[in-house]
Amino acid sequence: MKTFYALLLVAARASLEEEVASLRAEMKAQKELIETQQAMIKELQPLGRQLQTWVTQAQLTAAVTALQNTDYNLGGALDSAWLCLCGALVMFMHAGFGMLETGSCRAKNASNVLMKNLVNVCVGTLGWWLFGWAFAYGAQNGNGFIGTTGFAGFDFYTQDQTTGVITPSSCTADGCQSVMLMWFFQWAFCTAGATIVSGAVAERVKSPTYAIFAFFMASFIYPVIVAWTWGGGWIATVLDVGYMDFAGSGVVHLTGGVAGLAGTVVLGPRAGRFTNPEEFECHNLPLVVLGTFALWFGWYGFNPGSTLAMHDGATGAMAAQVAMNTTLAAATGGITVFILRFAIQKKYDVGGLCNGILAGLVSITAGCGNMECGSAFATGLIGAFVYQGGSMLLQKLKIDDPVDAAPVHGFCGIWGVLACGLFDWGKGFDYYHGWSGFGCMPVSTTDSSCKPGLGGSAIGAQFILIIMVIIWSGSLSAITFLLLKLTGTLRISEEVEAVGMDSHHHSPPKAYSLNAGAGAAGGTGSGSAPLGVLPSAPAGSASNPKDAWGAKADPV
């Protein structure tokens, strides 16, 4: 028995010795692994110190600044592409003005109307470059009335006096736009405002005289109104809330409409306008329609482009909202005037439809950036009634406006400025959005909560804008036209007016030949007139060629 226990102890001892040996082997392996890892860590320590040395605070700040500058430059490139495109669209509106005015007037003055539109752009450009930009957007040095720097492109960029290297713009979180970019975009607005006047005084004003007025309009009358408003002048902060005119119902259209009204009143009506009205109907309705479509198309540069930027999602969303509101108001204004004219005349009036579209566009231009689409519909609807009432008022007062420039741009411009305040996004009349767009006007720069009690002040600011534009543009334009009238250089002679300015002053003497279709190719002798030109009345028919067509539309 003792021998048995002895054998068990020997076996147990041998098993324990084997386990101890196994544990020692594992510990040795772990020790070797730890030593290997320590050696690797020791080798990596210099690299770790190198990484820590490279990422210093200054270098991190420099890297972040470089990324920000890249972002700012990309935003600046987007802004530049956007404003160049929109400025070109606004410039294309001159083609619309030219076609609409030419078609609305008589064929014997077509070349002269087209020339005045071209001269208006050229002369207005020089006026804007020499004086207009400086008065509108130059540094006001606290006067709040007019700019005093930037004449003839001076100081548009920074130039190193030693090397001559030019720095065209500086980039910040607000964008990376050059002065030249804004000069180009705002130039398109300036010349568009001056062109409004040309339609109101068409067919009886002397061309050199109108060129003088267009220069004065682009270099002083319009820029001062811009200085008060878009240029950050006194109306921008009036009543502690400031005006709101997103794209220019008041600043551009009312300014041009009032100036045109002053011009047509001083000039007086065309000879026979209210004794033989059928002789003054638009001679080429296709041109009127083409001009209307061109203007509507250009308005998508006029209104959406007035975001003045396209470097982030917020400005993109605002441009889309503006485009939608613009479209709704134009369509609503056009179809409303069309229905009103049909109710009055019992005939379709395409010219009225065209001017109704323009009335809706002018009406929405001020508030397209601070109202929702239902309000845009209401703005266009009411604008149609404003235009129709204004057109009938001028007829009643025997004021001769060949293209209804004053009702479209002046009367609807007034309504557009008022609608901008009345239909503002702000809740009720207590809160106001204005230039804040989708957000409300804050209490202060440090308190972003909505500031209450602004509704009344906002409407008051809109009235101040309207009154000041009428006083400034109306009085200066009237004085200018009166001075030109007193010198005998304003109106053409009765002889020229009777035969037409094209045959008396232009070469060739006709914009197009009314008999160009006679003896058509192939000797058919069909005598069909060219597209868009009314044929001569056949023998024994009514003396007015339009009577042969059975069309008697109101003047556009």
Residue 97 is predicted with a pLDDT of 97
DSSP state of 450: B
- How many CB atoms are closer than 10 A to CB 118? 11
For position 525, what pLDDT does the model report?
38
The pair of three-digit structure tokens given for residue 453, joined into one six-digit string: 């009690």
Residue found by looking up tokens 């594992």 in the block: 26
Contact 314, 175 (CB under 8 A): no
Amino acid 435: pLDDT: 94
CA distances from 271 to 203, 283, 321, 483, 554 (A): 10, 17, 46, 22, 18
Q: Would you state the pLDDT for residue 50?
A: 53
3-state helix, strand, coil in the chain (%, to 5): 65, 0, 30
Name the one residue in this structure whose structure tokens are 């001083």. Answer: 266
Query: Residue 158 gets which letter from DSSP?
Result: E
Residue by residue, pLDDT tens for the chain (556 residues) are 667 767 777 777 777 778 878 888 888 888 888 888 888 877 766 655 554 556 677 777 877 777 776 777 788 889 999 999 999 999 999 999 999 999 999 999 999 999 999 999 999 999 999 999 999 999 999 999 999 999 999 888 888 888 888 887 666 666 678 899 999 999 999 999 999 999 999 999 999 999 999 999 999 999 999 999 999 999 999 999 999 999 999 999 999 999 999 999 999 999 999 999 999 999 999 999 999 999 999 999 999 999 999 988 999 999 999 999 999 999 999 999 999 999 999 999 999 999 999 999 999 999 999 999 999 999 999 999 999 999 999 999 999 999 999 999 999 999 999 999 999 998 888 899 999 999 999 988 888 889 998 889 999 999 999 999 999 999 999 999 999 999 999 999 999 999 999 999 999 988 987 664 444 443 333 333 333 444 434 434 444 433 333 333 343 3
Q: Tokens 């003396």 label which residue?
A: 543
Return the DSSP state at 212.
H
Instruction: Give residue 556's pLDDT.
Output: 38
Tell me, what DSSP letter sits at residue 244?
A: -
Cα–Cα nearest to 219, from 144, 147, 156, 267: 147
Residue whose pair of structure tokens reads 């500058």 in the numeric block: 69
Cβ–Cβ < 8 Å for 309, 82 = yes
Residues 95-108 as b/e (b if ≥16 CB within 10 A, e otherwise) read bbbbbbbbbbbbbb
pLDDT reported for residue 194: 94
Exposure string (b/e) for 257-278, b if CB count within 10 Å is 16 or more? bbbbbbbbbbbebbeebeeeee
Q: What pLDDT does 171 receive?
A: 63
Q: Return the number of other C-beta atoms located less than 10 Å from residue 338's C-beta.
A: 20
Q: Which two tokens stand for residue 481?
A: 């036209």
Q: Rounded CA gap, 517 and 520, in Å?
A: 6
CA–CA distance, 408 with 404 (Å, rounded to integer): 6
Question: Backbone dihedral region of 282: left (phi > 0), alpha (psi from -120 to 50 degrees) or beta?
Answer: beta
Name the token pair of 149.
């720097």
Q: What is the pTM of this model?
A: 0.82
Eight-state DSSP code of residue 409: I
